[in-house]
Structure 1
C-alpha cells in the first residue's frame, strides 16, 4: 500500500490531515491560488472507489484550479489518459477534472446509449498507441493468480451465491486455473489474432463519460488499457451489463442468468461498432449481415474470458481485504461458475473457426 493510499484510508475526507495534503499537492503541482487556500476552503468528494482506483474531485472556494486525484490501488505499468496529466505521484496522479455526465447500470438498457457506446469503442480501438503490442489481459490474469498464490491462496472452492450454474468443478487448483488461461489464450491467438486493437480492457458503463462541453463520449479509467483482442472489450461490456454492483445488502453483487444467457443488447452494440468501422474506412460491405454475425460470434467467444479475468482479480484482492462494497469471494465464485457455463460455447466457436481455416 502506498503512503498516499494509507493516508486516505486512515483519515476522514474532511479531516485537517487530508485537506493539508490536498493543498500541498495543489500548491506543488498547480500553484496559483492553491498557495493561499485555507483548510475551510477545500472540498473533496469521492467520485469512485473500485478495485483499481480511488478518485477524488478536489476543489476550493477560491479560483484555484480544481483537479482529479487518482489513488492507485494496483500499481499501473503504464499511464494512459484522455485528460491533461498534472503530475505523477508515488501511488497516484493528479489529472484535469472534466465537467461531465456519468452513466449508471440503467443506461445499459437504452438502445441509443448502446449505439453510441459501439461507435465510441470503435474510435478508441482505432487509435495507434506507441506501446507494446503484446496482449496484456492474460498477463494481468497470471499476475493476479500468482499474487493469490503468494498470499497463501490454494485450491479454490466454487460455491455460487447469485447464480445456479453447475458446470463448474467443486474446487479448482491454482495449476488448473493457470491451464484455463493458457487454453483460452491459445484459442484466441489461433483464430482471433488478426483482431488486435488498442483496448480499454475494463469496459463498463461506469468508465464512460459524456463531456458537458461537447456531448462527446469518452472512456476513462484506462489503467489496464493495452493491445488486446477487440472482442474482449465488446464482451466485457455485455458481460458487465448482466451484473448489478449496487445491491444495498450483502454480498453487494447480483449476476443475472437471464441476461447472461440472452443479452438483449449484444446485437445493438455489435451493429453500431460494425457500422462505425465501415464509416471510418469509407467501406460499403458486400455482406453486412454475415459481418455482423461474425462479430457477434467473436463477442460470444470472449465472454467467458471476461469473467475469468475478474474472478482472478477478485480472488487475489479478497486476500488483501480490499473493500469496495462487494464480497469479492462471492464475485470470484460466481464469475467462475459463469466462466465454466459459457466456456463450451467458446470451444465450439474455436473448433468451427479452426476447422474453417484448415479447409481454406
Structure 2
C-alpha cells in the first residue's frame, strides 16, 4: 500500500494512533501485535482521509475492525473540531451513528459500521430516498445540547470571509465573492424564522455522509458539524 495522506505514509500509522489502537485492543482482550494490522483506504470522504483498520482476534474467523478518520489539512478554518466531537459523542449516546472509540492529535477512531457508503446514483432510488427522509425526520427531532438559535447566516458570513482571505484577486472576481454578502443578507431577509421550526440539522447531507445496510435497510448518517 502506497498512500500519502495527512498523517499516513505507505501504510505507516502515526505513533499516537498506534498507541490508541493498542490500548483499544488490550481493552477488548485481543492481544494485538501491531505487525498484524491491516490498513485499507476507503474512498468517499471529501474533507478527511478514512481508513478501515483490522487485526486478528482470538476467534481467527472474526477480525476486529475499526474506522480511522484522519482530519484533512486546513479544514479547521471552516469546522469547529471540538464542537464536532461533542456532538458526535452525544449522537452516539442517542444511538445515532457510530460510537467514538478514541481520539488522537490528527483524527479519531470510530466504531466500524458494516454498511456501504451511498453513491450519487443511490439518491435516485425512491426506496433509498424514502429511508433517508425517515431517518432525517428522526434526526431533526433529536433534543441536542447547545444553542437553539439559527446559526446559518453567521456561519455563511464566516465561511465567506475565510474564502476571501484565501483567494487571489483573480479568484475573487472569477467566483463573484464580492457579491455574496448581499446575497446572504437577501436570503436572510426573505427566509424569516418566525414561521419555521428550528431543529438540529446535519448541514452536509451529501451521499458520502450516508450509509446503508443493504440487508436490513438501516440508514446511518455520518455527522460533521459545520
TM tier relative to shorter chain = 0.7 to 0.9
Distance in 2 between residues matched to 1:53 and 1:72, nearest whole Å = 5
Change (3 A) 1:49 1:34: farther
Provide the residue aligned with 2:32 in structure 1: 36
Query: Under a length normalisation based on structure 2, what TM-score does the superposition of the two structures give?
Result: 0.74
Provide the residue aligned with 1:240 in structure 2: none
Q: How many residues align?
A: 200
1:124 to 128, 135, 139: 139
Provide the residue aligned with 1:71 in structure 2: 70
Change (3 A) 1:35 1:153: farther
Change (3 A) 1:6 1:103: closer
**CA-CA distance at 1:19 after TM superposition:** 7.5
Q: What SS is found at the alignment partner of 2:13?
A: helix
Provide the residue aligned with 1:56 in structure 2: 51
Q: What SS is found at the alignment partner of 2:199?
A: strand
Does the 8 Å CA contact 2:17/2:104 hold for their aligned counterparts? no
Provide the residue aligned with 1:183 in structure 2: 186
Map residues 137-148 of structure 1 onto 2, 5 A cutoff.
137-148=152-163
Give the RMSD, CA atoms, in angstroms. 2.8
User: Structure 1 unaligned runs (5+)?
Assistant: 159-170, 226-360
Q: Deviations over 1:163-198 (max 9, x none)?
A: xxxxxxxx6243x2222222212322x256523211
Q: Deviations over 1:286-333 (max 9, x none)?
A: xxxxxxxxxxxxxxxxxxxxxxxxxxxxxxxxxxxxxxxxxxxxxxxx
Provide the residue aligned with 1:12 in structure 2: 10
1:85 to 87, 94, 100: 100
Change (3 A) 1:58 1:139: farther
Change (3 A) 1:218 1:29: same
From the two aligned structures, give the one with the greater helix fraction: 1
Q: What SS is found at the alignment partner of 1:198?
A: coil
**CA-CA distance at 1:100 after TM superposition:** 1.3
Change (3 A) 1:134 1:51: farther
Larger-gyration structure (1/2) = 1
Provide the residue aligned with 1:96 in structure 2: 111
Change (3 A) 1:20 1:35: farther
Query: Under a length normalisation based on structure 1, what TM-score does the superposition of the two structures give?
Result: 0.49
